[in-house]
Every structure is written in structure tokens, then in C-alpha cells.
């Protein structure tokens, strides 16, 4: 059983990280190809392409100009420790026991517009390129189309038909996986809040819950769907009543 999560827009390359052995990218050639395309764009071009402010565009223009291959410290750091969004606040990789690091590296995968598929300890440099960015890459109409076959083939080398892939990524990022060609069975948990007598999906809490479930997978080592529904962090509980599809278990609080 492995899980996939989305990356985060916010990055933290300043805080100290645990002493783990960084690993190399799975798709260095593809990443460099995309980096070169981004490097050629102007600040205004980046602002328009990604729908960001001029200040953010300037920052990311500088990032793409400074890129170096292969990824090496101090410019590059292990991905799971520098992504700093809601999912990663739920995962809290910094607080995992060192004995869990091998499991994290083995079971966790991060989808990325620039890097494709990352293992947690793969070294990355600061960047911004969301999977939903509207850009062509050669004959590929968009980034999910560019990455889909590559990511799916990689996952198929890691998973068998008896395995499960736990989808803890956003819909935007999960489009980069070809579910029809994927060997493993996909389970997509849903996290909802009970508000005024109604169940609602609130983005911030759902993202954080995805991170908490990722941590549960690392620490508890579930192997079956039945094991997975034992997740109960932060007052979430599996709801059989609200689960209509066993491959989409609903957790509520």
C-alpha cells in the first residue's frame, strides 16, 4: 500500500531538516526539459502563465535562472521537509521517529508539475509549477498529459495488481495518473465536517486530514481497506452510513 499526495505552493527551505540521505529525482531529464522551458519565459510571461503577481513571478523567474543539475545541497533539499502547505502540516514529517523514515520513503509519493513523481527524500530546488498550469510541452497539450504515461509506468513498477494506491492528492494532480493503466486498485478517502446538521467538505480541513492519513499509513502500516478505516486522527471516524462506494470511504467529524 502506497499513497500519493499533492505538493504545496508554500516552501520552507530555511528551517533545519532531519539528517536523512537525499535521493535523486526519478525523472531528471523531463524535469530539466520543463525547467528550460520556464527559464526562457520573462517575468511578465510567468505572471500571465501562472496567474500570479509580478513579485511572485520575479521570485520564480530567479528560481528558474538559478537551477542546477544534478540537485545538490545547499540549493536542494528533500521534498517532504520543504513543502509547507496544509497537507504537510497534517503529515508532520519532521516529527516522525527516525525508525519511520524508511517506511515514509517506501510508501509515500508526491505528485508535482515540475518533477512528476517524487519520493519523500528526493532533492528538489525551489520552484512553482502547478499541474493545472495551461502549457503545452511538445505534443502534450498540458502537464497531466506530459506526465501521465511516465508516472503511471513508474507506479506500475512499484505496485502489483494486489496492491492499493491511496489517493490523498487533489483532483488536479491525480489527473497525472492513468487509472485505466494503473495496476493497483485506487482508494480515494473523503473527509467531511458535520456543520449545522449537514456534511460539508471544507478544503483546509480536508487537506490537513489527507496529511494525517498519510502519517497514519506510515506509522500504522495498513495493508487492506479494512485496516485503512481504522484511521481516527483529530476526531475523524469512518462512517459506514455515508460511504456509498468502498473505494471512496468517508471519514467525518
DSSP H helices, the chain, are 28-39, 43-50, 54-66, 79-82, 86-91, 101-107, 143-158, 171-174, 203-220, 225-228
| pLDDT score of 59 | 97
Across residues 215-225, what is the average pLDDT?
96
Q: Yes or no: say if 217 and 107 are a contact pair by the CB < 8 Å rule.
A: yes
| pLDDT score of 108 | 98
Write the pLDDT tens digit of every residue in 84-99.
Answer: 999 999 999 999 999 9
Q: What is the mean pLDDT of the chain?
A: 96
Residue 197 pLDDT exceeds 90: no
Write the pLDDT tens digit of every residue in 4-21.
Answer: 999 999 999 999 999 999
| Confidence grade of residue 1 (pLDDT, cut at 50, 70, 90) | very high
**Cα Rg of the chain, angstroms:** 18
pTM of the predicted protein model = 0.97
| pLDDT score of 73 | 87
**Measuring CA to CA, how many Å separate 156 from each of 50, 142, 151, 167?**
31, 22, 9, 15
Q: Which residues pair with 116 in a beta bridge?
A: 112
**Residue matched to cell numbers 504515461:** 149
DSSP H helices, 108-142, are none
C-alpha cell at 171: 483532483
Q: Yes or no: say if 165 and 182 are a contact pair by the CB < 8 Å rule.
A: yes
Percentage of residues in the chain with pLDDT exceeding 90?
A: 96
Amino acid at each position: 500500500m502506497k499513497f500519493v499526495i499533492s505538493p504545496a505552493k508554500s516552501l520552507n527551505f530555511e528551517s533545519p531538516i532531519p539528517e536523512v540521505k537525499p535521493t535523486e529525482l526519478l525523472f531528471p531529464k523531463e524535469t530539466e526539459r520543463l525547467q528550460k522551458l520556464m527559464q526562457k519565459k520573462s517575468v511578465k510571461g510567468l505572471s500571465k502563465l501562472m496567474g500570479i503577481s509580478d513579485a511572485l513571478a520575479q521570485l520564480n523567474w530567479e528560481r528558474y535562472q538559478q537551477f542546477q543539475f544534478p540537485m545538490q545541497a545547499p540549493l536542494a533539499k528533500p521534498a517532504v521537509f520543504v513543502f509547507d502547505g496544509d497537507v504537510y502540516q497534517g503529515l508532520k514529517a519532521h516529527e516522525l521517529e527516525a525508525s519511520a523514515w524508511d517506511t515514509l520513503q517506501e510508501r509515500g509519493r508526491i505528485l508535482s508539475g515540475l518533477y512528476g513523481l517524487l519520493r519523500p527524500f528526493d532533492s528538489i530546488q525551489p520552484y512553482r509549477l502547478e499541474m493545472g498550469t495551461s502549457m503545452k510541452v511538445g505534443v502534450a497539450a498540458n502537464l497531466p498529459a506530459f506526465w501521465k504515461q511516465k508516472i503511471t509506468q513508474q507506479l506500475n513498477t512499484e505496485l502489483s495488481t494486489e496492491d492499493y494506491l491511496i489517493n490523498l492528492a487533489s483532483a488536479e494532480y491525480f489527473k497525472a495518473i492513468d487509472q485505466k493503466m494503473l495496476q493497483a486498485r485506487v482508494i480515494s478517502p473523503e473527509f467531511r465536517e458535520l456543520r449545522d446538521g449537514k456534511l460539508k467538505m471544507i478544503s483546509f480541513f480536508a487537506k490537513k486530514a489527507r496529511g494525517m492519513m498519510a502519517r497514519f499509513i506510515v506509522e500504522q502500516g495498513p495493508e487492506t481497506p479494512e485496516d485503512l478505516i481504522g484511521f481516527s486522527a483529530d476526531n475523524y471516524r469512518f462512517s459506514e452510513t455515508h460511504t456509498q462506494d468502498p473505494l471512496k470511504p468517508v471519514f467525518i467529524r
